[in-house]
Structure 1
Amino acid sequence: MNKQERVLAALNGNEIDYIPYSLWYHFGTQFLPAAKAADIQIAFYERYDFDFLKVMNDYSYPLPERLDRVRTIEDWKQLKPVTVNGYCFSEQLKLLKIVAKRLKGEAFFLDTVFSPLGVARRTAKDIIFDLLRSHPEEFKQGLEVITESLCNYVKAVIEVGAAGIFFSVNGATSDLFSKEEFQEFVKPYDLQVLETVKDIGVFNVAHVHGYNLLFDQVTDYPVHAFSWAHLHSWPTLQEAKTLTDKCLVGGIDEHLTNMFHPDALETQIENALRETQGQKFILGPGCAIPTDMPPEQIDLICQTLRKS
């Protein structure tokens, strides 16, 4: 099987030669132009021979002119839609075009896309929780602006050659919201973005970010696979099999340190294969791994899978 065939087989629960895998972390390249950032991420993919590349995306959504931070709801209401020609999107699209040219016909790549609430948090920081609870309707206006921008952007992501998006769902956790608040401030906006790529992406993943997850609230998201920190939050991989028939992405503890023993790492992989029976499963971390993870540890993951 080639890499694309292997991933599609895993997504569909078909016969497979071995479980596909990939890892990812925040490269810290948000200060770099697209070409340099692309070189780093492609080098990461090539060095470890991943089955697909999840492209990190850390360019910042812009604040309006003459506003250096959000302090009030009036500041928040100044948010404007960003076109795909805006720097945060255009630079990432340039990066994706370079990746598409290098990986064409060889492997799929996904673009990391933060959900509307996730973009809101990254833009206005944690003040958003005070704003959304004190001015809910006005806060939603800003979410609508961000959602409109993201819907246009994700279409462009597929057009440049991405197989789909790795959609980081922010807010599906009782640490931040009740189920009612999730249904009001998170899910409707998430669904608008995901519906945009539902029929044009072949490999869309919902990464349910955080702990104490409201996982049962997202199982109807129109994606091909789910990712979450299952070693630190409900549900386990085995439990998730009873909640969704979608492919599961996981198995590797994102809290790995450079002192993590190889035997323990092999055990994690073996446990994940046992829980999922290797069906509709892709090996990956529960979230971004530390950037100082030793190369020999990553090599071990590949070796363990290919001999299983």
Structure 2
Amino acid sequence: MNKRERMKALFSNEETDYVPAGFWFHYPADYTVEQHLEGHLKLFRETDQDIIKLMDDNFGNLLTKGISIDKASDWRHIKLPGRNCVHFQRMEELVRKTVDQAGQEAMIFPTMWSPFKIASFTYVFGGSSDEKFMQHCKEDPDSVLAGVQAIADTLEDWAEGFLEAGADGLYYSGQFSEPGRFTEEEWEKLVKPFDLQILNRVHCHEEKYNIVHICGEAEHNFTASPQRYKDYPGDLFNWDVHRDNFTLEQGREYFGKPVLGGLDNHGILIEGSLEDIAGETHRIIKGFGKKGLMIGADCTVPADIDINRLRAAVMAAREV
């Protein structure tokens, strides 16, 4: 199997010749498209991993021009640019150039942040934007819904644009499921509909795939609630198995889909020896089995990590 065939088999929950693997980290926010391209291809070539996940590190305030959010009702007045947005154009260019240089070798998945995450970290309130945003969600959820809907509509169109540019799907960063942030009822009303809107757009296309990453933020001790994503239209699911108290085996049974992860990006990947990393990779695969598994980290690895650590895991996955 080549890398594309291997990932396609994984998404179909079919047997692969060996367990695929993939890792990623953030890049400086001021990187040009060419610098991003060079960085992503360097990681891909040096680790020989099985996919290319394109990071999205340049949001800043690109969606906030002319918009001021001071009170909850202001969310009703959001109007966002479509594909004319500089941010979309940069990401689309990165997708196209990556497809041109490596699309025959590997599947390519641009990152898409959830609309709720973009709402919280794009609009600057002064002080803690996340705290203020959560306050708005409690005070006037219907106004917040109107604003997040505008963001979701834009992202849905952007997702279509990335697919048109040659992406094989999305690496979707699901957010705001940290315990204590929202109740189940609030989650169902505020967050889930917009996630589904974007993910379902990808599945409108044949042989386009969703990798669903379930992310917990540092201020919430990196914990999330994977159980809230049970019926999401994902083809591969990733979460922090070391902090969410939810094993790979539990995830396989719960989601009924292939899973990604197993290696602690706060632990063995940065603290263990190369032999430790290889040994842990062997242990995970032998315990889980080869079918329906992609080796990776619980979340993004540190940007200054020694690439040899990641390569050790990629190579070890091929030995079992």
Would the TM-score normalized by the shorter structure come out above 0.5? yes
Q: 1:16 and 2:22 equivalent?
A: no
Q: 1:199 to 1:66 in 2, by over 3 A?
A: closer
- Give 1:106-255 correspondences, 5 Å limit: 106-124=105-123, 125-126=129-130, 127-200=132-205, 202-210=208-216, 211-255=222-266
Equivalent residue for 1:285, pick from 297, 307, 316: 297
Deviations 1:139-194 (A, max 9, x none): 11110110000000000111111111000000122142111111111001111111
Q: Which residue of 2 aligns with 1:260?
A: 272
Q: Calculate the TM-score normalised by the size of structure 1.
A: 0.93
Question: Are the aligned partners of 1:258 and 1:292 in contact in 2 as well (CA < 8 Å)?
Answer: no
Q: Distance in 2 between matches of 1:235 and 1:90?
A: 38
Contact 2:13 2:257 in 1 (8 A): no
Query: What CA distance in whole angstroms lies between the structure 1 residues aligned with 2:237 and 2:270?
Result: 27
Query: Residues 237 and 275 of structure 1 are in contact (CA less than 8 Å); yes or no, is this contact kept in structure 2?
Result: no
Say whether the 8 Å CA contact 1:228–1:286 is kept in structure 2. yes
Task: Please report how far the alpha carbon of residue 26 of structure 1 lies from its aligned counterpart in structure 2 after TM superposition.
Answer: 0.6
Q: Which runs of 4+ in 1 moved over 3 A?
A: 63-67, 74-78, 256-259
Aligned equivalents of 2:286 and 2:319: distance in 1? 15
**Relative to structure 2, which stretch is displaced further, 135-144 or 42-51?**
42-51
Q: 1:284 to 1:258 in 2, by over 3 A?
A: closer
Partner of 2:25: 25
| RMSD value, Cα | 1.8
Question: Where in structure 1 are there 5+ consecutive unaligned residues?
Answer: none
Does the 8 Å CA contact 1:169/1:206 hold for their aligned counterparts? yes
Pick which of 175-184 and 257-266 moved more: 257-266
Quote the sequence identity (%). Answer: 24
Q: CA deviation at 1:258?
A: 4.1
Displacement of 1:39? 1.8
Contact 2:262 2:295 in 1 (8 A): yes
TM-score, length-scaled by structure 2: 0.90
Looking at structure 2, the residues matched to 86 and 65 of structure 1 have their Cα atoms a distance apart, in angstroms, of 11
The unaligned stretches of length 5 or more in structure 2 are 124-128, 217-221
1:270 matched to which residue of 2? 282
For this pair of structures, how many residues does the alignment match? 306
